[in-house]
Structure formats: C-alpha cells, structure tokens
Chains A and B, each alone.
Chain A
Amino acid sequence: GNSVTQMEGPVTLSEEAFLTINCTYTATGYPSLFWYVQYPGEGLQLLLKATKADDKGSNKGFEATYRKETTSFHLEKGSVQVSDSAVYFCALSNYGGATNKLIFGTGTLLAVQP
C-alpha cells in the first residue's frame, strides 16, 4: 500500500542554520508529493508540491525534489528563521485512484531558536 515515512523530531536549530527533513515514500503508480506545514494554533497549509519525477517544488525559501530512484522528497531550507517553527508533514496523493486522498507522514516538529 501507499505510505510515507519522515524523520522523527523534534528538530532544534539555531536561526540561519541549514534545514533538512527527510521523507521517503512507498506508492504504486506515480504519486504527487507534498509538504504541508502546521503553525501553532493554525490549520494545515500547503508549503510546496511536486507532481512528477525530478520536479522541484519551492516556496518561502523551502525546496524539495521528487526523487523517484530513491523514493524520496526531502525538505530543505538554506537559512531557517524563528518564524519557521512549526510541524512539517510530508504527504502523497496517488492519482491512480479516484479519491486523490492525502496520505501523511507522522510530522516533524521544527523548533528554531534565536
């Protein structure tokens, strides 16, 4: 079946540090991949997406590249800010089915210290 595995947190970084949050997936067919972010007290927001192999999604300084050969979609940012502190969820949607439901990883808490 389809599943997503992401690194456990919390990840604690100092401001301006480099961020990597690992995400790997298992899926049949050709899924689309997403990173969602949940800021404290707010709902899930789409951060970036990639719909086919070798696509790079980017937004707000964050990037992730769809790697089919390693079934990965790692999230990176070159210089984190305190305002990036949130829970980050990797997710996939397999368009082979009609539902297009999202399958999420367990989430990674990022805490950025000034």
Chain B
Amino acid sequence: DTGVSQDPRHKITKRGQNVTFRCDPISEHNRLYWYRQTLGQGPEFLTYFQNEAQLEKSRLLSDRFSAERPKGSFSTLEIQRTEQGDSAMYLCASSLTGQRSYNEQFFGPGTRLTVL
C-alpha cells in the first residue's frame, strides 16, 4: 500500500502526559498537512510543510503542540501536557505541487487521541 500512513491509529493517555504521532506521506509528495477533527465537525487545519520547512501554523496550534518534518519525508506531531480538550482525530495529508495533481490532498486514516 503506497498511501499515507499514520501511527498509532489509537492513543489513550492521561491528562498531562506527552504524546507523539507519526505520519508517512506518499513517497514523492513534497507537501504535508496536519488537521484535527473533533466529533461532529469537519477537519481543521493545524500546520503545513513544504519539504522540511514548516510554512504555516494555525492559531489552533498552541505552544503545547510542535510538528517536525526533519528530512522532508515523514512528520511527527507532538502534544505536550495533554488536556482533555485535545481529544480528537489527528489527520495527516500529503500532496504534490504541480498543475497535474492540482493540490489533491491524500489523507491518512488518522490517529484517534483520547485524553482521560
């Protein structure tokens, strides 16, 4: 399978703990996005990388959140000192710049975080 993969698929943690999620994009894709989806809502943009550069961060991304894409391939999203309000599905998407692909973003299955 050459789609976007995310790990883990599910994470349960206690309030105050740190968690880290990983996203592996489609191999030739240079753009990578993180979104957050809460129950009954559509996904909301968190942050975006082009290659290894983090070019935009949403105001939703508090200072407890950090994301990296060190070699322009996989990305990690870390949440420090988790709060119950962080419980959500975290989605990763990737895309390839260029006219033919026209920014179709391919989504991974998501990581569901539950903070107790």
Contact = CB atoms under 8 A, between A and B. Distances in A.
A57 to B, nearest CB: 12
Contact of B43 (A46, A95, A104): A104
Contacts of A45: 107
A49 interface: yes
Contact of B42 (A46, A93, A104): A104
A107 B89 CA distance: 15
B48 A99 contact: yes
Contact of A104 (B40, B44, B56): B44
B41 interface: yes
A101 B56 contact: yes
Contact of B109 (A43, A95, A106): A43
A98 to B, nearest CB: 7
Contacts of A100: 31, 95, 103
Contacts of A104: 42-44
Interface residues of B, number: 25
Name the prevailing secondary structure of the A interface residues: strand
Interface string B73-103: 0000000000000000001010100000011
- Name the interface size band of chain A: 20 to 34
B110 interface: yes
B71 to A, nearest CB: 21
A43 to B, nearest CB: 4
A46 B103 CA distance: 11
Given A43-B110, A44-B107, A100-B95, A89 B102 contact: no
30 contacts: A4-B42, A36-B107, A42-B109, A43-B4, A43-B91, A43-B107, A44-B43, A44-B91, A45-B107, A46-B104, A46-B106, A49-B104, A51-B102, A89-B42, A89-B43, A93-B103, A98-B55, A98-B56, A100-B103, A101-B33, A101-B48, A102-B35, A102-B43, A102-B45, A104-B43, A106-B40, A106-B42, A107-B40, A107-B41, A107-B42
Interface of A: 4, 32, 36, 42-46, 49, 51, 89, 91, 93, 95, 98-107
